[in-house]
């Protein structure tokens, strides 16, 4: 078993990043021009990395499957971005942000990485303001903050309910500037199909142009994957329709380890599912939990009446309402971390207290906030979210409480990276949600944006140079004249042909939905040995069936949406199994991963003795069992504790 070297710099926690930067190798400005970098994905991490590296003088090629880099799914993040500015003077600090993130992640993240994240968080806010991101402000003209789940301080910066959009547009504007200057070559509507390896290093990618169907390849001295998470394995999630895990899976098959795939976050405040034809779930920002109160009826007969439509929420008096989060977790109340809130909602619904026709919903009530603050204030804070809710459900949340239910939202797991964000393949880096690095077993609200931008603006521009410092002598390769590139292209074409030739009976979506059901029922919020073993065997069977019987109409020479989906679902069908395997081996409950076997007094029970490590999986071939590598987590600077959201101390 190869030892995983996380390359954490020496020194005190506070000095590690500074030491690293001060002693790392740099590339001379004249040599930067001779170096090509490929960035796949143009969300927060990808766009910010591409822009920053191009500003430094590297030649960047950026790729995205959407029609424009501005459409990446980072845009959908609503609530905000954390930073340790301590502007509200409520006791925040870099250390506290670091501590909250590690604790929120249930002690399954690497200390050094998380500390660095907290350290650069303040720079992100400065950078975004300088780009013209219109963060919310107080009347005095200074920046406003709000609180978020899992934290006792107000450290979240926001731009109405569109923070992700505004930050992405900021990064997109920086990227656009570099495209305009000719430093970035942008390839939109282009999907990465594989990596190209030369002498054990990653030297480029093979792509398919989604409009013309053309398969071509591109050289670079190093490749950065910023391709987001794989939540769509579950079919229904809050991810965009096109979000996929394919780039990560292609890297995994080429030798990059996949870390903690079972760490999947289920977001507590989504609009409940309403039908079988549904294509996606919509998230309602977690910020709603600041002022909304979550409850279900105390009496089963009330819940039944609600399900049948015989009663309305307003018919149930306060004394018959069970504000289960407030009662069970007095210190954090409705602001407990996402995994805790989600699991409690599921527990109540499974116990028969669900409030909508499917029995899978709880109330998020603004009646009390309206009484306390007035309708105007509530409208000012959440107006656009309320409008969104009303458009989707046709219910007025000012009058009737919202109904919410957990849904797959974010994947903490991802490609294994070391402190430099380098994968186990030399020359291949992973950033943002695509890597596993900072959130451990559970991500806190408003931290995804922070991590994406930290990786792209402030980490990769340094660490990539460390790798590239001796690479300027490597001459640019013309893929057309290189055997390795030609071989990789040929393999991709054969793979596409193989998919097209199946010509079976069922559409790609059919298989995707089936996979989603297996995943949600067996690898969802509560997992058992049996359910996971069942999932593994069912996914295997489904995968066999897919490769025999999927139907892709049209041709590969041109726009073919079904082919795009087939490529992604083929990868999901392997990734789903990997998630289940990881979940099966991790016989403990931590963060988003909840094993029914491992609990005490109804709360998740972590097993630090046996599982305080990162589980990184190495690909061993199609239908072969992957090999597990463990990166032990040594907490040197923080005292490992049980997560406690009950007492406040």
Partner 1 sequence: MAEGHKSLNLTLKVWRQAGRNAQGQFKEYTVSNISTEASFLEMMDILNEQLIETADPDGPVAFDHDCREGICGMCSLFINGRAHGPDDDITTCQLHMRKFNDGDKITIEPWRSGGFPIIKDLMVDRTAYDKIMQAGGFVSVSTGGVPDANAIPIPKPDADEAMDAAACIGCGACAATCKNGSAMLFVSAKVSQLALLPQGKAEAARRAKAMVAKMDELGFGNCTNTGACELECPKSVSISHIARLNREFLKANIKD
Instruction: Report the residue from 6, 156, 162, 463 that binds partner 1 according to the rule CB under 8 A.
Output: 162
Rg (CA), the chain: 24
With vertex at residue 372, the alpha carbon angle to CA 369 and CA 376, rounded to the nearest 5 degrees, is: 70
Q: Which residues are catalytic?
A: 338
> CB-wise, 393 or 482, nearer to partner 1?
393
The widest CA-to-CA distance across the chain, in whole angstroms, is 76
Rounded CA separation 163/203 (Å): 35
- What part of residues 495-534 is at the interface with partner 1 (CB under 8 A)? 507, 509
Given 38, 40, 84, 169, the residue binding partner 1 (CB under 8 A): 169
Cβ proximity to partner 1: between 55 and 304 the closer is 55
Query: Which of positions 451-490 make contact with partner 1 (CB under 8 A)?
Result: 457-458, 461
Q: Does 275 bind partner 1 (CB under 8 A)?
A: yes
Looking at 166-174, 225-233, 428-436, 602-610, which segment touches partner 1 (CB under 8 A)? 166-174
CB atoms under 10 Å from CB of 406, counted, come to 26
Q: Provide, rounded to whole angstroms, the least separation between the CB of residue 61 and partner 1.
A: 16
Q: Are 615 and 4 spatial neighbours (Cβ–Cβ below 8 Å)? A: no
Query: Is residue 143 a contact residue for partner 1 (CB under 8 A)?
Result: yes
Least distance (Å) from partner 1 to the CB of residue 549? 13
Residues 515, 573: contact at Cβ < 8 Å? Answer: yes
At 550 the three-state DSSP class reads strand
From the CB of 411, what's the least distance to partner 1, in Å?
A: 17
Size of the site for partner 1 (CB under 8 A): 88
The nearer residue to partner 1, 192 or 403, going by C-beta atoms, is 403
Beta bridge partners of 218: 205
Q: Which is nearer to partner 1, 65 or 332 (CB)?
A: 65
Asked whether 145 and 287 are in contact (CB, 8 A), the reply is: no
Contacting partner 1 (CB under 8 A), which of 11, 200, 320, 357?
357
Binding of residue 45 to partner 1 (CB under 8 A): no
Which residue, 275 or 317, is less far from partner 1 as judged by CB?
275
Comparing CB distances to partner 1, the nearer of 361 and 604 is: 361
Q: Count the helices and strands in the chain (H runs, E runs).
A: 19, 21
Stretch that binds partner 1, among 421-429, 522-530, 549-557, 625-633 (CB under 8 A): 549-557
Binder to partner 1 among 11, 134, 200, 352 (CB under 8 A)? 134
Residues 332-351 close enough to bind partner 1 by CB under 8 A: none
For residue 368, with 0-12 CB atoms within 10 Å meaning exposed, 13-18 middle and 19 or more buried, which class applies?
Answer: middle
CB of 266 to partner 1, least distance (A): 17
Residue pair 54/60 in contact by the 8 Å Cβ criterion: yes
Closest CA to 416 of 575, 588, 615, 250: 615
| Residue 210 near residue 191, CB atoms below 8 Å | yes
Where b means 16+ CB within 10 Å and e means fewer, 327-366 reads: ebbeebbbbbbbbbbbbbbbebbeeebbbbeebbbbbbbb
Residues 380-439 that bind partner 1 (CB under 8 A): 387-388, 391-395, 403
Q: What is the smallest separation between the CB atom of 535 and partner 1, expressed in angstroms?
A: 25
Q: Which is nearer to partner 1, 48 or 82 (CB)?
A: 48
Residues 238-267 that bind partner 1 (CB under 8 A): 238, 240-242
Least spacing, CB of residue 127 vs partner 1, in Å: 6
One residue of 165, 265, 435, 598 binding partner 1 per CB under 8 A: 165
127 binds partner 1 (CB under 8 A): yes
Footprint (CB under 8 A) of partner 1, residues 191-210: none
Of 586, 584, 560, 447, nearest to 507 by C-alpha is: 560
Separation of alpha carbons 368 and 256, rounded Å: 50
Q: How far is the CB of 502 from partner 1 (least distance, A)?
A: 14
- Residue closest to 102 by CA, chosen among 441, 401, 433: 441
Reduced to 3 states (helix: H, G, I; strand: E, B; else coil), residue 86 is coil
> In the range 222-241, which residues lie near partner 1 by CB under 8 A?
238, 240-241
Q: Using the rule CB under 8 A, is 177 a contact of partner 1? A: yes
Identity of the residue, 185 or 618, whose beta carbon is nearer to partner 1 in the bound complex:
185
Contacting partner 1 (CB under 8 A), which of 29, 91, 309, 317? 309
Q: How far apart are CA 422 and CA 420, in angstroms?
A: 5
- Verify binding: residue 214, partner 1, rule CB under 8 A: no
* Residue 479 to residue 591: CA distance in whole angstroms: 44
313 binds partner 1 (CB under 8 A): no
Tell me which stretch binds partner 1 (CB under 8 A): 97-105, 226-234, 277-285, 618-626: 277-285
621 binds partner 1 (CB under 8 A): no
Spatial separation of the C-alpha atoms in residues 293 and 200, rounded to whole Å: 54
Q: Are 464 and 205 in contact (CB under 8 A)?
A: no
Q: Give residues with Cβ within 8 angstroms of 82, minimum separation 6.
A: 97, 121, 148, 151, 155, 156, 157, 444, 446, 447, 450
Which range, of 19-27, 122-130, 433-441, 519-527, touches partner 1 by CB under 8 A? 122-130
Which 56-85 positions form the footprint of partner 1 (CB under 8 A)? 66-73, 75-76, 85
Q: Which residues share a beta bridge with 82?
A: 156
Question: Among 16-24, 48-56, 108-116, 536-544, which window interacts with partner 1 (CB under 8 A)?
Answer: 48-56
The stretch near partner 1 (CB under 8 A) out of 178-186, 294-302, 467-475, 613-621 is 178-186
Please give the Cα distance from 69 to 59 (Å, whole number): 18
In whole angstroms, what is the distance from residue 250 CA to residue 479 CA? 19
Asked whether position 29 contacts partner 1 by CB under 8 A, the answer is: no
């Amino acid at each position: 078993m190869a030892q995983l070297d996380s390359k954490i710099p020496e020194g005190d926690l506070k000095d590690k990043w500074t030491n690293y930067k001060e002693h790392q190798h740099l590339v001379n400005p004249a040599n930067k021009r001779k170096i090509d970098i490929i960035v796949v994905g143009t969300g927060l991490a990808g766009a910010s990395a591409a822009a920053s590296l191009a500003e430094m003088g590297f030649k960047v090629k950026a790729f995205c499957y959407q029609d424009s880099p501005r459409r990446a799914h980072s845009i959908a993040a609503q609530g905000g971005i954390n930073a340790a500015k301590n502007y509200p003077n409520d006791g925040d600090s870099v250390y506290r942000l670091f501590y909250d993130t590690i604790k929120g992640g249930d002690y399954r993240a690497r200390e050094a990485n998380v500390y660095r994240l907290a350290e650069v968080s303040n720079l992100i806010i400065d950078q975004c303001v300088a780009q013209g991101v219109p963060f919310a402000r107080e009347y005095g003209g200074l920046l406003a903050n709000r609180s978020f789940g899992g934290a006792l301080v107000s450290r979240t910066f926001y731009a109405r309910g569109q923070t992700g959009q505004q930050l992405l547009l900021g990064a997109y504007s920086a990227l656009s500037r570099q495209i305009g200057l000719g430093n970035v070559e942008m390839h939109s509507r282009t999907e990465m199909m594989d990596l190209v390896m030369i002498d054990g290093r990653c030297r480029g990618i093979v792509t398919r142009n989604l409009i013309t169907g053309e398969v071509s390849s591109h050289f670079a001295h190093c490749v950065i994957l910023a391709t987001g998470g794989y939540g769509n394995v579950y079919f229904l999630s809050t991810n965009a329709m096109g979000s996929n895990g394919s780039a990560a899976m292609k890297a995994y098959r080429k030798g990059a380890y996949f870390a903690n795939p079972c760490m999947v976050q289920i977001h507590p405040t989504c609009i409940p599912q309403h039908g079988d034809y549904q294509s996606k779930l919509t998230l309602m920002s977690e910020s709603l939990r600041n002022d909304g109160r979550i409850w279900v009826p105390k009496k089963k007969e009330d819940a039944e009446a609600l399900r049948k439509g015989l009663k309305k929420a307003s018919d149930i008096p306060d004394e018959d309402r069970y504000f289960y989060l407030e009662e069970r977790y007095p210190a954090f109340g409705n602001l407990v971390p996402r995994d805790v809130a989600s699991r409690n909602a599921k527990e109540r619904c499974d116990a028969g207290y669900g409030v909508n026709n499917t029995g899978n919903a709880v109330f998020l009530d603004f009646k009390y906030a309206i009484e306390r603050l007035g309708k105007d204030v509530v409208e000012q804070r959440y107006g656009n979210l309320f409008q969104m809710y009303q458009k989707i459900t046709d219910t007025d949340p000012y009058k009737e409480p919202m109904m919410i239910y957990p849904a797959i939202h974010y994947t903490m797991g991802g490609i294994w990276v070391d402190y430099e964000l380098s994968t186990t393949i030399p020359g291949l880096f992973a950033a943002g949600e695509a890597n596993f690095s900072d959130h451990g077993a559970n991500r806190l609200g408003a931290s995804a944006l922070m991590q994406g931008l930290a990786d792209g603006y402030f980490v990769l521009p340094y660490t990539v140079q460390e790798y590239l410092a001796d690479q300027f002598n490597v001459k640019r390769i013309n893929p057309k004249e290189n055997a390795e590139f030609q071989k990789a292209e040929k393999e991709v074409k054969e793979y596409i042909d193989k998919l097209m030739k199946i010509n079976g009976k069922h559409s790609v979506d059919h298989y995707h939905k089936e996979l989603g059901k297996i995943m949600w029922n067996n690898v969802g919020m509560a997992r058992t040995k049996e359910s996971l073993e069942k999932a593994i065997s069912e996914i295997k069977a489904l995968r066999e069936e897919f490769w025999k019987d999927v139907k892709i109409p049209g041709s590969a020479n041109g726009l073919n949406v079904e082919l795009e989906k087939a490529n992604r679902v083929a990868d999901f069908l392997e990734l789903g199994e990997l998630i289940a395997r990881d979940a099966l081996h991790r016989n403990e409950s931590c963060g988003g991963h909840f094993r029914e076997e491992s609990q005490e007094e109804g709360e998740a029970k972590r097993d630090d003795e046996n599982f305080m490590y990162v589980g990184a999986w190495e690909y061993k071939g199609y239908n072969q069992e992957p090999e597990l590598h463990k990166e032990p987590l040594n907490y040197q600077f923080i005292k490992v504790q049980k997560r406690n959201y009950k007492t406040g101390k």
